[in-house]
């Protein structure tokens, strides 16, 4: 955020002005030195010595000013990041009563960032005192030369030289400051270049040479081979070499003891129509049909209203909570939808797209049991020839699947049919079934029903 706000502003607005003033001041000083040297040639000796002292003071100042500018930029990035994260998590901070702690933390970061800024101002004052001294010394040298040559140059020339040396005195100090300002502002260029070249880039969105056909995938076969995943390079992997093969049309349930698949469902901002059909490839009849098949709207054609999908809706209730059309706005992250409704929108999108591979991540975690059963019936009927990977919230929703993948500590602990896994008395899946009151007869009945549906 800091790079794309403060640093870009510095490059666009401040760096150009600094370069312009630096070039203008340099040309003014050169013109004044040439004019004074024509009248007082001995002035070149004095100005050479003074310029050496100017260069030494400027080099000393620029080295410290450059690092202070870098420190200020780094601390400012930390301040912006903390402030942005606090705003995004404001509801959680207030819920846990941590507002005061975050306020104090923000004030502390502001104070630390101001230390670097104050050091920058102090450094400039240090330079200003020394430049003023050198400028006064240069003016003294010209004044002594003018007095010593009072019989060889006219009073008009003496006045001209003294007036120009006074402007040069101020211009020298301004030149050093502007050279340091240009170098400090180039720190923003350095940060942008580092962000563009040194930061690891994402993979390209499309590879033209390896672009699959529009009908890909044709069969929906999924193969994972030694998959290792970590959220950041320095963190331990959460998936440790997972390998599995899923045949086309096979139904796989994914379960785990702790935190298996507890991930948020991402939704797009826009309208209900753009969520279901982002590229406008389908007509309204297809979209309404998908909404009905996913139980987002009532089956009655006279009442196209969004159905409630919350845990607080009693079983069997079908009372519309909101009335939406296909062009009704969906707020950012689905703010005007419940968690269950967001899941149903994702299911409707899969129906519209006619996907070959369906990944259900807690698809019915926040819906009532009646809607859960309807959704499972829809999945079983609409996606009977599709490949399904379902991360289960309720174990009963996946006991009719072809195979169950049990994850434990980032590895595949068990992977077989539900009945075979149940026969292992010490298995993880057997323990989960017992805690959910699922018996062997339930698994056999679910398998029998599934086989009949396939037949």
Task: State the DSSP H helix or E strand holding residue 83, giving kind and residue range, or none if neither.
Answer: helix 43-88
Say which CATH number the domain at 164 has.
1.20.1560.10
Say if CB 203 and CB 25 are below 8 A apart. Answer: no
Is 231 a domain residue? no
Write down the residue that tokens 């826009």 correspond to.
270
Confidence (pLDDT) at 322: 41
Res. 302 pLDDT band, cuts 50 70 90: very low
Confidence (pLDDT) at 130: 85
Task: Choose from 8-12, 220-224, 281-285, 339-343 the range with maximum mean pLDDT.
Answer: 8-12
Pairing relationship of beta strands 306-307 and 320-322 according to DSSP bridges: antiparallel
Chain mean pLDDT for the chain: 77
- Token pair in block for residue 267: 């939704």
Q: Which of 163, 197, 231 is the last residue of a domain?
A: 197
Kindly report, residue by residue over 145-194, the tens digit of the pLDDT. 888 887 788 888 888 888 888 877 778 778 877 887 887 788 888 888 88
Q: Which of 178, 197, 216 is the last residue of a domain?
A: 197
Res. 312 pLDDT band, cuts 50 70 90: very low
Res. 104 pLDDT band, cuts 50 70 90: very high
- Token pair in block for residue 280: 């406008």
Q: Which of 215-219, 261-265, 444-448 has the lowest mean pLDDT?
A: 261-265
Region of residue 249 (left: phi > 0; alpha: psi -120 to 50; beta: else): left
- Which residue range is the domain that position 385 belongs to? 239-454
Q: Is the pTM of this model over 0.75?
A: no
Say which CATH number the domain at 329 has.
3.40.50.300
Confidence (pLDDT) at 194: 87
Confidence (pLDDT) at 259: 46
Is 218 a domain residue? no
Is 446 a domain residue? yes
Is 377 a domain residue? yes
Name 246's Cβ contacts closer than 8 Å, sequence gap at least 6: 221, 222, 223, 252, 387, 389
- Do 260 and 347 reside in the same domain of the chain? yes
Bridge partners (DSSP) listed for residue 405: 254, 415
End-to-end CA distance of the chain: 57
Please give the backbone phi and psi of residue 437, each rounded to the nearest 5 degrees, phi first: 60, 40
- Do 273 and 171 reside in the same domain of the chain? no
- Do 123 and 250 reside in the same domain of the chain? no
Please say if the pLDDT value at position 142 is more than 60.
Answer: yes
Kindly report, residue by residue over 33-89, the tens digit of the pLDDT. 888 888 888 888 888 888 888 888 878 887 887 788 788 888 888 888 888 888 888
- Do 162 and 252 reside in the same domain of the chain? no
- Token pair in block for residue 169: 């005195």
Please, where are the H alpha helices in 89-154? 90-95, 99-148
- The Cα-based distances of 231 to 340, 406, 413 in angstroms read 27, 21, 22
Kindly report, residue by residue over 1-36, the tens digit of the pLDDT. 767 888 888 888 888 888 888 888 888 888 888 888
Confidence (pLDDT) at 321: 39
Is 223 a domain residue? no
Region of residue 97 (left: phi > 0; alpha: psi -120 to 50; beta: else): left
Please say if the pLDDT value at position 268 is more than 50.
Answer: no
Please say if the pLDDT value at position 234 is more than 50.
Answer: yes
- Do 155 and 260 reside in the same domain of the chain? no
Is 205 a domain residue? no
Confidence (pLDDT) at 318: 37
**What span, in angstroms and rounded, lies between the C-alpha atoms of 222 and 85?**
37
Res. 263 pLDDT band, cuts 50 70 90: very low
Res. 279 pLDDT band, cuts 50 70 90: low
Task: Choose from 234-243, 264-273, 375-384 the range with maximum mean pLDDT.
Answer: 234-243
Please say if the pLDDT value at position 262 is more than 60.
Answer: no
CA pseudo-torsion sign 34, 39, 44, 50 = negative
Please, where are the H alpha helices in 321-395? 339-353, 369-382
- Do 270 and 412 reside in the same domain of the chain? yes
- Do 92 and 29 reside in the same domain of the chain? yes
3-state SS assignment for residue 296: coil
User: Total domain count for the chain?
Assistant: 2
**What span, in angstroms and rounded, lies between the C-alpha atoms of 437 and 435?**
6
**What span, in angstroms and rounded, lies between the C-alpha atoms of 372 and 370?**
5
Is 232 a domain residue? no
- Do 162 and 73 reside in the same domain of the chain? yes
- The Cα-based distances of 404 to 109, 364, 399, 416, 421 in angstroms read 50, 18, 8, 6, 8
Is 244 a domain residue? yes
Q: How many CA atoms lie within 13 A of 42 on its CB side?
A: 9
Please say if the pLDDT value at position 355 is more than 80.
Answer: no
Confidence (pLDDT) at 317: 34
Q: Report which of residues 218 and 308 the model is more confident about.
A: 218
Q: Which of 145, 166, 197 is the last residue of a domain?
A: 197
Say if CB 191 and CB 7 are below 8 A apart. Answer: yes
- Do 191 and 260 reside in the same domain of the chain? no
Confidence (pLDDT) at 299: 57
Cβ burial, residue 168 (10 Å; 0-12/13-18/19+): buried
**Where in 203-326 does DSSP place strands (E)?**
222-229, 239-246, 251-256, 270-271, 306-307, 320-322
- Do 340 and 444 reside in the same domain of the chain? yes
Give percent of the chain above pLDDT 90: 2
- Do 185 and 276 reside in the same domain of the chain? no
- Do 21 and 131 reside in the same domain of the chain? yes
């Amino acid at each position: 955020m800091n790079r794309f706000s403060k640093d870009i502003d510095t490059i666009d607005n401040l760096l150009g002005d600094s370069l312009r003033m630096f070039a203008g001041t340099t040309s003014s000083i050169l013109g004044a030195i040439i004019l004074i040297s024509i009248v007082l040639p001995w002035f070149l000796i004095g100005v050479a010595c003074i310029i050496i002292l100017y260069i030494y003071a400027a080099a000393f100042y620029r080295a410290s000013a450059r690092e202070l500018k870098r420190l200020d930029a780094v601390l400012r990035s930390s301040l912006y990041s903390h402030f942005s994260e606090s705003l995004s998590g404001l509801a959680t901070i207030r819920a846990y009563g941590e507002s005061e702690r975050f306020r104090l933390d923000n004030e502390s970061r502001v104070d630390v960032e101001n230390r670097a800024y104050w050091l920058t101002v102090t450094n400039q004052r240090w330079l200003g005192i020394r430049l003023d001294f050198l400028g006064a010394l240069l003016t003294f040298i010209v004044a002594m030369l003018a007095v010593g040559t009072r019989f060889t140059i006219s009073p008009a020339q003496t006045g001209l030289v003294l007036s120009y040396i006074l402007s040069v005195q101020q211009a020298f100090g301004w030149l050093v400051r502007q050279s340091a300002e240009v170098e400090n502002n180039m720190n923003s260029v350095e940060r942008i270049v580092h962000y563009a070249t040194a930061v690891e880039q994402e993979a390209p969105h499309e590879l033209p040479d390896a672009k699959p056909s529009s009908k890909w995938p044709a069969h929906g076969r999924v193969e994972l081979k030694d998959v290792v995943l970590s959220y950041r390079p320095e963190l331990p992997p959460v998936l440790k070499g997972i390998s599995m093969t899923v045949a086309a049309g096979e139904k796989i349930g994914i379960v785990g003891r702790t935190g298996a698949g507890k991930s948020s469902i991402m939704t797009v901002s826009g309208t209900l129509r753009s969520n279901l059909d982002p590229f406008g490839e389908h007509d309204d009849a297809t979209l309404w049909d998908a909404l009905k098949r996913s139980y987002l709207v009532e089956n009655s054609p006279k009442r196209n209203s969004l159905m409630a999908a919350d845990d607080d809706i009693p079983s069997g209730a079908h009372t519309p909570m909101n009335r939406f059309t296909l062009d009704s706005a969906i707020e950012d992250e689905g703010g005007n939808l419940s968690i269950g409704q967001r899941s149903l929108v994702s299911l409707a999108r899969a129906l519209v797209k006619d996907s070959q591979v369906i990944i259900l991540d807690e698809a019915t975690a926040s819906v009532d049991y009646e809607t859960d059963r309807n959704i499972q019936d829809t999945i079983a009927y609409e996606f009977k020839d599709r490949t399904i990977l379902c991360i289960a919230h309720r174990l009963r929703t996946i006991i009719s699947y072809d195979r169950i993948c049990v994850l434990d500590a980032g590895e595949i602990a068990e992977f077989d049919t539900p009945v075979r896994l149940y026969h292992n008395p010490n298995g993880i899946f057997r323990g989960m079934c017992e805690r959910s009151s699922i018996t062997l007869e339930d698994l056999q009945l679910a398998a029998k029903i599934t086989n009949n549906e396939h037949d």
